[in-house]
Amino acid sequence: MFPNEPAVVSGSITFTQDMLAVLLILGLTVYLFVSEVVRVDVAAVTVMVLIGVTGVVPAAHVF
């Protein structure tokens, strides 16, 4: 589906940099939602832009 799909080696999945980026962005999102440092809508738009800028999701699929 995506060009950076993880390689399957003997039944296990290799942890890639894209996976790490997604986990970090997810952690940031949960932190922003729970702590309410910024409004929820601002946090959501910020995360959408961050996902597009980092290239985790292709730009054509972001919005």
Per residue in 10-52, pLDDT (tens digit) is 668 888 888 899 999 999 999 999 999 999 999 999 998 999 8
Give domain status of residue 34, yes or no: yes
Confidence class for position 57, pLDDT limits 50, 70, 90: confident
Structural domain count, the chain: 1
Give domain status of residue 6, yes or no: no
- Residue 33 has a pLDDT of 94
- Residue 3 has a pLDDT of 64
Q: Which domain holds residue 25?
A: 12-55
Per 3-state DSSP, the chain is made up of helix, strand and coil in percentages (nearest 5) of 60, 5, 35
Cα-only R_g, the chain: 14
